[in-house]
Structure 1
Amino acid sequence: MKVVSLVPSITEALFDLGLTEKEVVGRTKFCIHPKEKVKNVAIIGGTKNINIDKIKALQPDLILANKEENIKEQVEALMDDFKVIVTNVETIEDNYYLLKHLGKTFHKEDKAQLFNLKIYDVLNQAKISSTIKAAYLIWKNPYMTIGSDTFIHKILAEIGFENIFKDKTRYPEIETADLAEAEVIMLSSEPFPFKEKHIEELKEFYPDKKIMIVDGEAFSWYGTHIAKCEDYFKALISDFKHKFH
């Protein structure tokens, strides 16, 4: 079966489940994992600007898209000619069913189940002892954060952080002043590439707060990725155990 994936984390999951470059024939330029395998797969544009002609030339049997990451009109245009599965992952349960569904589609049920068990295991082990109020920023100019109907929010909650913007939805714009309640401000490494200098900028307003860069992939890449973040989450949690109390 020839597959085109329009979603970076799903591309990674397909290879993790054991598909090869012979089966995954197209990907976006943001599909960067696993590096040594995706380099042999044709690029069909970005997640938001899909090159439909390139996809047609690949003649895939199946296209995997995502409600949030891809543009509705572009996905609908592909549906005229191809079988398209549109995924929507907002919770850890959604992610469980995504992997189950991929496992079934590609006859990799056992592998999908192992990844699902590992993800639950990783998230169960990564728990802070007391709830810490957190703000998680994904963008700058303007600052943007995450509401409660996002996958990132669910991961934060799962490991013991209380999102101070949980009364909001999707990805609201906020001001620096809105961060006052947060005990920790997390600056995600993606989609905006926050760096040390951005920590310094916020320190001018909040010299006493813990402000840190976090791995955006660990929090936002659904699919199989979290199963590989055990060490990352352990280190993150231990950082809070030591510095926070």
Structure 2
Amino acid sequence: MPRVGGTKNVDVAAVIALRPDLVLANKEESSQRDVERLIEAGLPVFVSFPCTVEESLDYVETLARLLHVDAPPRPAPARRQGELRVCAPIWKDPWMTMDGRTYGSDLLSWLGADNVFSDRARRYPLAADVAGAPAADPGARDTRYPRVTAEEIRARGPALVLLPDEPYRFDETHLEEVRSWGVEAALVSGKDLFWYGVRTAGALERLDRALAPHR
């Protein structure tokens, strides 16, 4: 299989030369200009952007139709009741997390885990996000991933901080750092927390097991 780069650095000319029957893109990961160039070259492009568990399951069915294959049986996960207050950072230096408009946050809500930053939009510039400076109009910029401080994380009162191994590779040292704040923490799979599609059903089961000791 030829390699044509990653989601953020696609070799558009190489993709066009391959003349694929279908190009899969993602609104959050793929460059708008790259997608436009592929469409201008006459290639069919399917741009996905599921932000909930239900939208992820819909995506699998839509993709199956586009590929002219049978969709796998649609899972029927049960929504767990509970109010385990959690924070799930996605980056460090500065700390970053996600608000309630994201797939990861919705996935956690299905597991009875309440994202303590669900109502916290990203502010611009950085000083407005982490130092209380006046915020500017974000315009069309993404506001779903706020930059926060350790103090703000503690102030939000999570019972558990989930540390995924991607996009930032949190490890045992970060686990101990968070625990030094007096907050419990656990390492989890970033793929399970953030990758949508056919992984969703299994991810719900695996993350449910990871959360079980903390309920």
SS of residue in 1 equivalent to 2:85: strand
Query: Given the alignment of the two structures, is residue 131 of structure 1 paired with residue 83 of structure 2, yes or no?
Result: yes
Distance 2:205 2:58 in 1: 25
Offset, 1:166? 0.8
Select the residue among 100, 111, 115 that pairs with 2:61: 100
Query: Given the alignment of the two structures, is residue 215 of structure 1 paired with residue 176 of structure 2, yes or no?
Result: no
Which blocks of at least 5 consecutive residues in structure 2 are unaligned?
A: 122-143
Tell me which stretches of 4 or more aligned residues in structure 1 moved more than 3 Å. Answer: none
Offset, 1:216? 1.0
**Match for residue 238 of structure 1?**
212
Residue 99 of structure 2 aligns with an amino acid whose one-letter code is G
**Match for residue 128 of structure 2?**
none
Residue 99 of structure 1 aligns with an amino acid whose one-letter code is V
1:118-172 Cα offsets, whole Å, 9 max, x none, are xx33xx27x3x53111110010111100011100010011101111111124111
Residue 166 of structure 1 aligns with an amino acid whose one-letter code is S
Select the residue among 73, 78, 102 that pairs with 2:33: 73
SS of residue in 2 equivalent to 1:185: strand
SS of residue in 2 equivalent to 1:109: coil
1:38-92 Cα offsets, whole Å, 9 max, x none, are xxx2221111111012112211121110101111111111111111111111112
Instruction: Give runs of aligned pairs for residues 16-55 of structure 1, distance below 5 A.
Output: 41-55=1-15
- Flag the structure with higher helix content: 1
TM-score with structure 1 setting the length:
0.73
Percent identity of equivalent pairs = 28
SS of residue in 2 equivalent to 1:238: helix
Select the residue among 8, 11, 24 that pairs with 1:64: 24
The 8 Å contact of residues 60 and 71 in structure 2, kept in 1 or not, is answered as no
The 8 Å contact of residues 100 and 106 in structure 2, kept in 1 or not, is answered as yes
Offset, 1:96? 2.2
Select the residue among 173, 176, 180 that pairs with 1:197: 173
Offset, 1:238? 2.6
Offset, 1:104? 1.1
Instruction: Give runs of aligned pairs for residues 78-89 of structure 1, distance below 5 A.
Output: 78-81=38-41, 82-89=43-50
Offset, 1:234? 4.1
SS of residue in 2 equivalent to 1:43: coil
TM-score with structure 2 setting the length:
0.82
Residue-pair matches, total: 190
Select the residue among 200, 203, 207 that pairs with 1:229: 203
**Match for residue 149 of structure 1?**
101
Relative distance call for 1:98 and 1:48 in structure 2 (3 A) is: same
